[in-house]
Amino acid sequence: GTITFIEYDGTEHKVDIEPGQSLMRTAVNNNVPGIDGDCGGECACGTCHVILEGDWIKIAGSANSEELQMLDMTPERAENSRLACQITTSEDMDGMVARMPEFQM
Ligand code: FES
């Protein structure tokens, strides 16, 4: 399956799901710009912020308190915001669309 990342300027990047890999790593491995993952997935930098489209937020699982705290400090936080390093991908996410905020251009 595939996940589509959409940059703030509308550029789309379709990448293959690597089950068990974090959504942040999946983006980095595929050179998707806008997902920096500066802290290496420690939930400490907020540079892997994505806004999931539609109902994907439900499939992605729930954010733990550490992530919610980090999201509180993240610019452009939306209701469907997640930190991509805290999402473990699976084939259930085939067709998922994740948008990047303007801040991460
Ligand atoms: Fe730093 Fe996700 S990579 S918070």
In a domain, 2, yes or no: no
Q: What is the pLDDT of residues 55-96, one digit of tens each?
A: 999 999 999 999 999 999 998 999 999 999 999 999 999 999
The parent domain of residue 64 ranges over: 22-104
In a domain, 13, yes or no: no
The CATH number for 58's domain is 3.10.20.30
In a domain, 3, yes or no: no
54 CB-near residues (< 8 Å, 6+ apart): 97
State the SS3 of 46-57.
CCCEEEECCCHH
In a domain, 82, yes or no: yes
- Prediction pTM value: 0.95
Ligand 1 pocket, Cβ-based, cut-off 6 angstroms: 24, 37-39, 41-48, 70, 83, 85
Provide ipTM, 2 decimals: 0.99
Domain count, the chain: 1
User: Ligand 1 pocket check: which of 21, 22, 24 to mutate, most ligand atoms within 8 Å of Cβ?
Assistant: 24
In a domain, 65, yes or no: yes
pLDDT score for 103: 81
- Identify the CA nearest to 40 among candidates 48, 31, 51: 48
